[in-house]
């Protein structure tokens, strides 16, 4: 293990991470690819492994990585707490709304086949896509809310 110099010992860890140019450059380059991969997992989830939960966690991990490198305040500026709260509710409403829509169309809760009157297979595809999107949105914003709650606490 390397020994810290006297200046590094007195410098808060938060400042040392922000001053690391390599970490900032690599992190800034990786975050868009992480978010893009999350979208791939989201929209490819009905064809292979993955789906809303996995995509939501990956997307939130990209946002949290950005906050760890560039600071919590920058992420809070980009995604305020009110947007996080609305996102949590919006995702849950989308999930539940698909179920209610299928009930209003005369079938059971989350019976996707009724969503397309001409072809039940298309209704299944649309229903799964919307439900998984609702799950992904909710999971992303719940993870960000948990991060905000823990990262915003001060040491006492």
Q: Is residue 92 part of a domain?
A: yes
Q: What parts of the chain have a pLDDT lower than 50?
A: 1
Q: Which domain holds residue 121?
A: 6-151
Q: What is the pLDDT of residue 74?
A: 92
Q: Report helix, strand or coil for 93.
A: helix
Q: Is residue 20 part of a domain?
A: yes
Q: Is residue 144 part of a domain?
A: yes
CA-to-CA dists, residue 6 to 12, 19, 151, angstroms:
12, 17, 27
What is the 8-class DSSP label of residue 28?
A: H
Q: Is residue 1 part of a domain?
A: no
Q: Is residue 156 part of a domain?
A: no
8 Å CB contact between 60 and 147: yes
Tally the domains of the chain. Answer: 1
Q: What is the pLDDT of residue 1?
A: 46
8 Å CB contact between 64 and 146: no
Q: Is residue 12 part of a domain?
A: yes
Q: Is residue 25 part of a domain?
A: yes
Enter the pTM of the model.
0.81
């Amino acid at each position: 293990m390397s020994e810290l110099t006297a200046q590094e010992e007195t410098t808060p860890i938060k400042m040392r991470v922000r001053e690391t140019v390599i970490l900032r450059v690599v992190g800034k380059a990786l975050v868009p690819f992480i978010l893009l991969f999350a979208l791939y997992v989201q929209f490819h989830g009905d064809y292979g492994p993955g789906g809303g939960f996995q995509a939501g966690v990956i997307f939130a991990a990209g946002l949290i990585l950005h906050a760890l490198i560039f600071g919590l305040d920058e992420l809070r500026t980009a995604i305020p707490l009110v947007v996080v709260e609305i996102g949590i509710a919006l995702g849950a409403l989308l999930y539940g709304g698909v179920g209610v829509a299928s009930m209003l169309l005369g079938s059971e809760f989350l019976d996707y086949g009724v969503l397309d009157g001409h072809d039940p297979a298309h209704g299944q595809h649309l229903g799964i896509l919307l439900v998984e999107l609702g799950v992904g949105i909710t999971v992303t914003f719940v993870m960000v809310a948990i991060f905000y709650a823990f990262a915003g606490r001060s040491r006492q």
